[in-house]
Amino acid sequence: MILVTGGAGFIGANFVLDWLATRDEPVLNLDKLTYAGNLENLASVQADERYVFVQGDIADTPLVMQLLDQHKPRAIVNFAAESHVDRSILGPEDFIQTNIVGTFRLLDAARKYWGGLSTNEQAAFRFLHVSTDEVYGSLSASDPAFTENHRYEPNSPYSASKAASDHLVRAYHHTYGLPVLTTNCSNNYGPHHFPEKLIPLMIVNALAGKPLPVYGNGMQVRDWLYVRDHCSAIRRVLDGGRLGEVYNVGGWNEKPNIDIVHTVCALLDELRPRSDGKSYREQVKFVADRPGHDQRYAIDASKMERELGWKPAETFATGIRKTVQWYLDNPGWVANVQSGAYSKWVQTNYTSRP
The mean pLDDT values, 10 residues at a time, for the chain of 354 residues are 96 98 97 86 96 97 98 98 78 92 98 98 98 95 96 94 98 98 97 90 96 95 97 98 98 96 98 98 93 89 98 97 98 81 52 56
Integer Cα distance of 309 and 293 in angstroms:
34
Q: What confidence score (pLDDT) does residue 351 get?
A: 59
Phi and psi, residue 13, nearest 5°: -65, -45
214, 259 in Cβ contact below 8 A? Answer: no
- Ordered structural domains, the chain, with CATH: 2-192+225-252+296-314 (3.40.50.720)
* pLDDT (0 to 100) of residue 347: 58
Q: Is 158 noted as a catalytic residue in this protein? A: yes
Q: What are phi and psi of 137, to 5 degrees?
A: 90, -145
pLDDT of residue 352: 55
Burial of 281 (0-12, 13-18, 19+ CB in 10 A): middle
Catalytic residue among 82, 133, 223, 254, which?
A: 133
Q: Which amino acid is at 217?
A: N
User: Pairing between strand 75-78 and 126-132?
Assistant: parallel
If residue 188 lies in a helix (H) or strand (E), which one and from where to where? strand 187-189
CA distances from 261 to 206, 265, 268, 318 (A): 10, 6, 11, 16
Marked catalytic residue, from 57, 82, 86, 134: 134
Q: What is the pLDDT of residue 254?
A: 96
Catalytic residue among 51, 158, 247, 297: 158
- Which of 12, 18, 57, 72 lies closest to 36, judged by CA? 12
Q: Classify burial at 326, counting beta carbons within 10 Å of its beta carbon; exposed 0-12, middle 13-18, buried 19 or more.
A: middle
> Which of these, 96, 220, 78, lies nearest to 157 by C-alpha position?
96
- The answer to whether the predicted template modeling score (pTM) of the entire model surpasses 0.75 is yes
The pLDDT score that the predictor gives to residue 181 is 98
- The pLDDT of residue 335: 87
Say how far apart CA 15 and CA 229 lie, in whole Å: 10
SS3 state of residue 296? strand
Distance, CA of 36 to CA of 33 (rounded, Å): 7
CA 259 – CA 219 distance, rounded (Å): 8
Instruction: Say if strands 221-226 and 254-256 run parallel, antiparallel, or are unpaired.
Output: antiparallel
Do residues 226 and 190 touch, judged by C-beta distance below 8 A? Answer: yes
Dihedrals φ, ψ of 126, to 5°?
-140, 145
The residues facing 27 across adjacent strands are 2, 51
Q: Report the half-sphere exposure of 49 (CA within 13 A, side-chain side).
A: 0
